[in-house]
Amino acid sequence: MNTPAHRTAIRFGILFHGNKIWISELVGMAGATTVLLSLFAVTFLILANESIIHRYDKRIRELHAQQWTTDNMLARLASQQRIGAAIKKATGAAIAGPVYYQLVDLVYNNSKTFGYDPLLVLAVIQVESVFKPDARGRFKNLKLSGALGLMQVKPETAREIAANLGITIKTDADLFKPDINLAIGVAYLTKLISAFKSFKLGLLAYNQGPGVIRESLQANSPLSIDYYQRVLNKYYLLKKSVEQN
């Protein structure tokens, strides 16, 4: 009689192509296959989920980009509407249609480029030329000053600024073109404000010339601020007019 220690485990097998395969081995193989299939299924699900998440992320980014574009477009339209209303108020709607629409775009673009409130640029234009693209500046004795166009820029100054902006000025008459005149005028005003580190002094230098302002400061002489006050008055009137609409 065999004791428990001497009992032999009973194993069952099947013949497969002449080879005996034990049931326990089949069970082990089936288990391993199940594990592999499970790992494959999990991997597939993870990759599928990542693909879905990637598509959703891409779509979300596209929607954010579309929203950003829409918001910018609405902001641009609102700003242009504000500029247009101010121009009509300042000119009594007498400005010609093509010039009006061109001026709205130019004031918006140049103000945005240099970081100004568009109404401030309009105030400078109003004081300088009363919105006349072909304006010629005159001294108090009525002699021509040489300043031309919407922002009353002098040719010698214009050529210096134009070179830095990559703008070509073939003749002085080019300064009667609103796109050239505004780009140069706003850039020149920005340069003066930066040079004097003061909006007030930069604006006065735009009108009187930087040399005059430097001499007055060095001599500690009082500055004539009439031009500065006129520009600010026009600015606040324009701002009030569009806020009431």
Mean pLDDT, 10 residues at a time, the chain of 245 residues: 50 50 62 80 81 76 73 84 92 81 95 94 96 91 91 96 94 96 97 97 96 96 96 96 81
Give the fold, CATH level 3, of 94-244: Lysozyme (1.10.530)
Task: Look at strands 19-22 and 136-138 and give their pairing.
Answer: unpaired
Instruction: Give the model's pLDDT for residue 21.
Output: 53
Instruction: Give the model's pLDDT for residue 225.
Output: 96
pTM score: 0.72
Instruction: Give the model's pLDDT for residue 75.
Output: 83
Instruction: Give the model's pLDDT for residue 47.
Output: 80
Count CB atoms within 10 A of the CB of residue 179. Answer: 15
Phi, psi dihedral angles at 33 (to 5 degrees): -65, -40
**CA gap 154, 157 in Å, rounded:** 5
